[in-house]
Amino acid sequence: MTLATLAEVLQPALQGGYAVGGLVCLGWEDMRAYTMAAEAEDAPVILQAGPSCREHTPLPVLAKMFRYLGESVSVPVVAHLDHGYSADECRIALDCGFTSLMFDGSKKPLQENIDETAAIAELAHAAGISCEGEIGFVGYAGGAASAGTDPAEAAIFAKATKVDAMAISVGNVHLQQDHEGGLDEARIRAIEAVTDVPLVIHGGSGVPLAQRTALARGSKICKFNVGTELRMAFGTALRAAVDAEPTTFDRVAILKQTHDPVMAAARAAIRALKPTKAEEGVC
Ligand code: 13P
């Protein structure tokens, strides 16, 4: 049984100079491959149920799947609600067994974001689980533009909400299909100078692997959310399997062929963030 809260994996990461992957799940095939990847890398993992995952599969079912996977390995596994947009959604996730809730009030005016996130953090902490909030707005490739995080606002947000992790907007953008969108390190330094809360980068797929590693080791960024690059590995493998065997109609036989490529992609994403052997001994 290695189910963990977000704080339980991010505080050691903050102290030990590494980061943990928040891997975007869409179904059984990818969440199982991510968990096996974490076990193979001997590193913690955060399984994330975001809006499109929840549109496809109800939260209580996802909670059972995440918890089952967490119980089947020896590394810490966090069952995380990603981009919860309402208190109701967060309450349902809490009641059905998630160990971490992200409340995303990033599109709201500052005070509203603070008040609503603080209420979810209080709810989460009373139940012994964790809460992530977002300050500034992380945009979408080909969609809504980002609003960079103001360091002074981040300091106020962290203190007033008591979140366990704070997502920031520092040049990161969701849904990028290449790794060319580097982060604004000067803004990261200005934010981490005013808070001790572990920082989160959404849109991790767009961040070059070398920069993920450098920031995992040398900044307060303790969580990189990664989705698009893993979905691309899944989609490519699925398409190849379907194209290679036009007469196969059994979906288990087809989906099985996504396992190795998705696990390999998840291992690469996790490996870029995990502690080196020497650091592991320290923490
Ligand atoms: P990418 O899909 O761009 O990696 O972003 C994932 C994410 O931030 C989920 O919250």
Closest among 141, 191, 126, 133 to 165, alpha carbons compared: 133
Which CATH superfamily includes the segment(s) 3-282?
A: Aldolase class I (3.20.20.70)
Contact 44, 22 (CB under 8 A): no
**From the CB of residue 142, how many other CB atoms can be counted at a distance below 10 Å?**
8
Q: How far is CA 167 from CA 13, 59, 100, 120, 156, in A?
A: 16, 22, 14, 15, 14
Chain center to CA of 256: 25
Q: What would the 3-class secondary structure string for the chain be?
A: CCEECHHHHHHHHHHHCCCEEEEEECCHHHHHHHHHHHHHHCCCEEEEECHHHHHHCCHHHHHHHHHHHHHCCCCCEEEEEEEECCHHHHHHHHHHCCCEEEECCCCCCHHHHHHHHHHHHHHHHHCCCEEEEEECECCECCCCCCECCCHHHHHHHHHHHCCCEEEECCCCCECCCCCCCCCCHHHHHHHHCCCCCCEEECCHHHCCHHHHHHHHHHCCEEEEEECHHHHHHHHHHHHHHHHHCCCCCCHHHHHHCCHHHHHHHHHHHHHCCCCCHHHHHHC
**136: Cβ below 6 Å to ligand 1?**
no
pLDDT score recorded for residue 277: 64
Q: Which residues make beta-bridge pairs with 140?
A: 174
- pLDDT tens by residue, the chain, 283 residues: 689 999 999 999 999 999 999 999 999 999 999 999 999 999 999 999 999 999 999 999 999 999 999 999 999 999 999 999 999 999 999 999 999 999 999 999 999 999 999 999 999 999 999 999 999 999 999 999 999 999 999 999 999 999 999 999 999 999 999 988 789 999 999 999 999 999 999 999 999 999 999 999 999 999 999 999 999 999 999 999 999 999 999 999 999 999 999 999 999 999 999 988 655 544 3
Residue 172: CB within 6 Å of ligand 1? no
- Is residue 82 among the annotated active site residues? yes
Q: How far is the CA of 246 from the centre of ligand 1 (A)?
A: 32
**Per-residue b or e along 169-190, where b marks 16 or more CB atoms closer than 10 Å to that residue's CB:** bbbbbbebeebebebeeebbeb
What integer pLDDT is reported at residue 282 of this predicted model?
A: 42
pLDDT digits (tens, 9 = 90+) for 119-155: 999 999 999 999 999 999 999 999 999 999 999 999 9
Active-site position among 30, 82, 104, 164: 82
Cα–Cα distance for residue pair 49/98, rounded to 1 Å: 10
> Is 81 close to ligand 1, i.e. is its CB under 6 Å away?
no
For residue 224, how far is its CA from the centre of ligand 1 (angstroms)? 8
The verdict on the CB of residue 212 being under 6 Å from ligand 1 is no
**Spacing, Cα 22 to ligand 1 middle (Å):** 9
pLDDT of residue 281: 44
pLDDT at 180: 80
Compute the distance from residue 272 Cα to the ligand 1 centre, in Å.
Answer: 16
Q: How far apart are CA 176 and CA 264, in angstroms?
A: 20
Nearest atom, ligand 1, residue 24 CA: 9
The model's pTM: 0.96
